[in-house]
Structure 1
């Protein structure tokens, strides 16, 4: 599946661990009437994702939001506990919403799965 600007994200439930505990967030509710930058990484705490991907979006978050973006979301096939810990470790605060696609539902529906065993994943 080739993803293009304006494509509809499939309807799934993602997990977020916030100040009030575990939340189920539907993509329909999460993305409705919002301009969103959604980026996905192969795994939390991986070297490149930790050193480049998340810091890059964090560094440029205000510039991105100045262009009319309402929210920046980081998605990974990790559970919400790991995504929460990784967000704290990277200092994402309120700038990037860290979401877990623990069962890979969204990742699979968007045909974004990969065999990461050659990279120490999986």
Structure 2
């Protein structure tokens, strides 16, 4: 069962590379903030690299003008997430988070089995909007689609800043 609107993001630890590999917990990511977190099945994969992440890079300033942080998460290691962020020219403020063992993905109930493609456990493609760690909107894509988790769609659903 996946997380639902009105529920709190579970406490979990992810990894990010800034000056080295750092641990960052969900409280630090979401606590007291307005955040859009989007998840992709895999860094450097075609849809993720050609369409999903680039939309958030392109519209990053619009999210920030509305007082919203932007976070990307994937079941990859932090080195892959760092390299992908650099390759896609991700703005410095956008967090590229590694959920290496899929712990957050499983805690959210948003995992999928991609073993048939040699990728093991991965995240479903989704985006969520949270205020102070409470999910206000969750948009999970149907398999093979990219519509409701795009930057453009999430911008259209955001409440006014304030």
22-31 vs 100-109, which moves further = 22-31
Q: Where in structure 1 do 4 or more consecutive aligned residues deviate above 2 Å?
A: 117-122
* RMSD of aligned Cα (Å): 1.4
- 1:83 partnered with 2:81: yes
Residues 24-39 of structure 1 correspond to what in structure 2 (within 5 A)? 24-39=23-38
Q: Is the partner of 1:38 in helix, strand or coil?
A: strand
Structure with a larger share of its residues in strand: 2
How many equivalent residue pairs? 119
Partner of 2:44: 45
TM-score by length of 2: 0.69
After superposition, give the CA deviation of every residue in 1:88-116 in whole Å (9 maximum; x if it has no partner): 01000314210000010000011111112
Could you list the runs of 5+ residues in structure 2 that have no partner in the other structure? 121-162
Task: Specify the alignment match of 2:4 in structure 1.
Answer: 3
Q: Which moved more, 1:42-51 or 1:59-68?
A: 59-68
In 2, the alpha carbon distance for the partners of 1:45 and 1:32 equals 29
TM-score, normalization by structure 1: 0.90
Cα deviations across residues 14-63 of structure 1 (Å, max 9, x unaligned)? 00011x11100011122111111100101100000000110001111111
Matches of 1:111 and 1:51 in 2, distance apart? Answer: 26
Secondary structure, aligned partner of 1:114: strand
